[in-house]
Amino acid sequence: MGENGINRKGGEGRMWEVFTQKKTGDPHEHAGNVHAHDAEMALQHARDVYSRRNEAVSIWVVPSDQITASSPDDAGPFFDPAEDKIFRHPQFYKVPHVSKKRR
Amino acid sequence: MDEQQKLQEFQDRIDAGEKIEPKDWMPERFRKQLVRMMSQHAHSEIIGMLPEGNWITRAPSLRRKLALLAKVQDEAGHGLYLYSGAETLGVSRDEMIDDLLSGKAKYSNIFNYPTQTWADIGVIGWLVDGAAIVNQTMLAKSSFGPYARANLRICKEESFHRKQGHEIIATMMKGTPAQRKMVQDAVNRWWWPTLMMFGPPDDNSPNSNELIRWKVKTKTNDELRQSFIDRTVEEAHDMGIEIPDPDLRYNEETKHWEIGEINFDELYRVVTGNGPMNKKRMAARRKAHEEGRWVREAAEAYAEKQKLKEKKAS
Ligand SMILES: [Fe+2]
Ligand SMILES: [Fe+2]
């Protein structure tokens, strides 16, 4: 029996979310999921499924049930605090305009 | 908020071009339709490996063998992207696979035809993957985020599939009369089943309106079929291949190729399990699943053992 409760013997294993980095310097992006019984196997599956053509230089896998996500139902109130803080943007500020001199 | 209001808001989001993500509110019917479409699509990719896998050991050269191996492996990947997408709606992979193996779930009809000669492999890439591209390019813009993303990934790989098939038959068409005959024979057998891949005609397509209203699809079956025909007929003629349709003609006004009537009775016959290969395909899939069971069990046992070790060590 696996940890997410739905696995049976000889089943597909635990679900892992896969994040891939296209090239060094880029952020890791969500690619999809794979099923595997342990982390090592999940990494190998992730490589075979999501990087058959060098789409990744680095892969993260994490058990799907270990991710906590914000809920879309309260997306409004949850992200509200940022809404009225226009002073966090450069457009909020006025500074004297200085024209560049050519040397 | 009552159901009617929620429904309206949902439709407004779709009309505004927003994507629906798995945890968003959606009508039950939308969820059901998406699970049905994504799992059927996934099963098709998986069963689709069988007719081509049949020729891997008999590919005529190493170059062709490498291409075919890579293509079939991609199809496995496509199945996995789509299962992964369907799982975001709460259906488990084990359930979906059970449904396929028990015969409860459907897959694309086209894979219930046999691959008789090497030319069939070329024609499958050129026609069947060609048709799949038309459909999947549309689905890459689907209103359901995970389905759109899976199809986008798929589309990036399909052009190689189509092109390797096109190359196989273009090469054979420059070969001996026997080779040309083999290609023509394969086209004769695959042309109509390929056109049926786009589904029933618009005036008899029960799911179509709803899916278009929800922007899961943005084109009708007949529109997709037509764009495939226009593109493919020109290529066929260019290679000296005849399209097996005596009624085929070019309409100067509409600038479209018009085809004769499609025999949809044939489609229903194959869909309901009476195609030439239905039983064999299912038997092959079940056998593969059973023969892989010990691997899954061993991996599971190994993982359990490692966990115990870690616990003891800590
Ligand atoms: Fe595919
Ligand atoms: Fe393909």
**The token pair that represents B53 in the structure block:** 């896998």
ipTM comes to 0.86
**The token pair that represents B59 in the structure block:** 């590919």
pTM: 0.91
Confidence (pLDDT) at A85? 84
For the stretch B198-214, pLDDT in tens is 998 988 877 778 999 99
For the stretch A43-79, pLDDT in tens is 999 999 999 998 999 999 999 999 998 887 777 778 8
Among A38, A43, A47, A64, the strongest candidate for a mutation testing the B interface, having the largest count of B CBs within 10 A, is A38
Q: Is the pLDDT of residue B1 over 80?
A: no
Confidence (pLDDT) at A37? 94
| Residue A88: pLDDT band with limits 50, 70, 90 | confident
List strand residue ranges (DSSP E) for chain B, in order: 249-251, 256-258
Q: Is the pLDDT of residue A2 over 70?
A: no
Better-predicted residue by pLDDT, B37 or B277: B37
Confidence (pLDDT) at A9? 64
C-alpha–C-alpha distance, residues B79 and B256, integer Å: 33
Ligand nearest to the CA of B75: 1
User: For residue B13, what are the CA distances in angstroms to B22, B33, B59, B85?
Assistant: 14, 18, 50, 21
Contact B144, B152 (CB under 8 A): no
Q: Is the pLDDT of residue A86 over 90?
A: no
Q: Is the pLDDT of residue A5 over 60?
A: no
Which of B23, B153, B157 comes nearest A72 by C-beta?
Answer: B23
Q: Is the pLDDT of residue A1 over 50?
A: no
Confidence (pLDDT) at A3? 40
Q: Is the pLDDT of residue B122 over 50?
A: yes
Confidence (pLDDT) at A46? 97
For the stretch B19-51, pLDDT in tens is 999 999 999 999 999 999 999 999 999 999 999
CA of A90 to the centre of ligand 2 (A): 48
Shortest CA gap B124–chain A (Å): 22
> What strands lie across the sheet with A14-21, from one edge to the other?
A29-36, A14-21, A58-63
- What counts of helices (H) and strands (E) characterise chain A? 2, 3
Residue type, B82: L
User: For the residues B66-94, what does the mean pLDDT come to?
Assistant: 96
For the stretch B147-171, pLDDT in tens is 999 999 999 999 999 999 999 999 9
**The token pair that represents B261 in the structure block:** 């009537």
Which of A41, A48, A73 comes nearest B299 by C-beta?
Answer: A41
CA of B248 to the centre of ligand 1 (A): 29
Better-predicted residue by pLDDT, B276 or B218: B218
Confidence (pLDDT) at A7? 41
